């Protein structure tokens, strides 16, 4: 059973990835994507809310006329452990059939959100479907994952910033930082 965590029970810890490092890595990913998708600009599919900062930076660094769309899924609610149940809160506006789709995710933890999303998106018959995830938590995946573009592998700790939240707070931090619960477990 997931536990609900109020933001007041959380304290910020060390910087795990500083803003300059994120920015350099986003540039490298964008370069790779620009090369791989030359002549077939992808539809960037941002998974809200966590991917909004990453997507904004990535999209602006890609040298192709990409299109953008958004999906919102909820796996945790206000809690911090995945339930394995993923709910689509906002669906896409775009028809995916025949499109080259690149899903842009903030963080892959258990991989359950991604594997659910992938199944649902493949049913819409895109020409191709790949994933770009800024962060992947090492050794945590409970479902097989196939990620074409990974920003950073991190240890299995709870992190906030650069779009990532706890209880909707700290998405606006420029760095990615550890977050610790006072009397509650976050990861
Ligand atoms: P998964 O289904 O376990 O892979 O969880 C993926 C989703 O959980 C991400 O898209 C985030 O919304 C959330 N999440 C997982 N780990 C963290 C974290 O360390 N900080 C903030 N959100 C997280």
Q: Which residues contact 5 (CB under 8 A, 6 or more apart)?
A: 78, 79, 80, 166, 167, 181, 184, 186
8 within domain boundaries: no
- Does residue 160 lie in a domain region? no
Q: What is the pLDDT of residues 107-118, one digit of tens each?
A: 999 998 899 899
Q: For the residues 124-141, what does the mean pLDDT come to?
A: 95
Which two structure tokens, joined as six digits, stand for 12? 């910020």
pLDDT digits (tens, 9 = 90+) for 144-155: 789 999 999 999
Q: Is the CB of 115 under 6 A from ligand 1?
A: no
Atom of ligand 1 nearest to the CA of 116: 2
Q: Identify the domain containing residue 121 by its residue range.
A: 20-154
Q: Does residue 95 lie in a domain region?
A: yes
pLDDT tens digits, 44-95: 999 999 999 999 999 999 999 999 999 998 865 555 566 667 888 899 989 9
Residues in the chain: 187
Query: How high is the pLDDT of residue 44?
Result: 98
Among 57, 109, 165, 175, the one annotated catalytic = 109
Q: Is residue 63 part of a domain?
A: yes
pTM for the full predicted model = 0.91
Residue 143 is predicted with a pLDDT of 76
Asked if the structure places residue 4 within a domain, the reply is no
User: Is 57 annotated in the active site?
Assistant: no
The predicted pLDDT at position 83 comes to 62
The reply to whether 107 falls in a domain is yes
Compute the distance from residue 66 Cα to the ligand 1 centre, in Å: 26
* CATH number of the structural domain spanning residue 45: 3.40.50.2020
114 touches 135 (CB < 8 A): no
Does any ligand 1 atom lie closer than 6 A to the CB of residue 113? yes
In the chain, how many domains are there?
A: 1
Please check whether residue 101 lies inside any domain of the structure.
Answer: yes
Output the CA angle 166-171-176, nearest 5 degrees: 90
Q: Quick check: is 113 in a domain?
A: yes
Percent of the chain past pLDDT 90, that is, above it, reads: 74
* Cα–Cα separations (whole angstroms), residue 126 to 40, 43, 118, 182: 13, 10, 11, 45
């Amino acid at each position: 059973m997931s536990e609900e965590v109020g933001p007041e029970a959380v304290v910020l810890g060390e910087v795990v990835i500083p803003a300059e490092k994120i920015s350099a890595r986003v540039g490298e990913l964008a370069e790779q994507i620009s090369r791989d998708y030359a002549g077939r600009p992808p539809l960037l599919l941002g998974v809200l809310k966590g991917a909004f900062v990453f997507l904004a930076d990535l999209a602006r660094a890609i040298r192709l006329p990409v299109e953008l769309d958004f999906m919102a899924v909820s796996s945790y609610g206000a809690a911090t452990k995945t339930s394995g149940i993923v709910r689509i809160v906002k669906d896409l506006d775009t028809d995916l059939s025949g499109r080259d789709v690149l899903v842009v995710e903030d963080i892959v933890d258990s991989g359950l959100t991604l594997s659910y999303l992938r199944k649902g998106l493949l049913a819409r018959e895109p020409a191709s479907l790949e994933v770009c995830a800024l962060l992947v938590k090492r050794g945590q995946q409970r479902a097989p994952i196939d990620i074409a573009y990974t920003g950073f592998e991190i240890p299995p700790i709870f992190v906030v910033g650069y779009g990532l939240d706890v209880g909707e707070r700290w998405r606006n931090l420029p760095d990615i930082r550890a977050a610790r619960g006072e009397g509650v477990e976050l990861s």
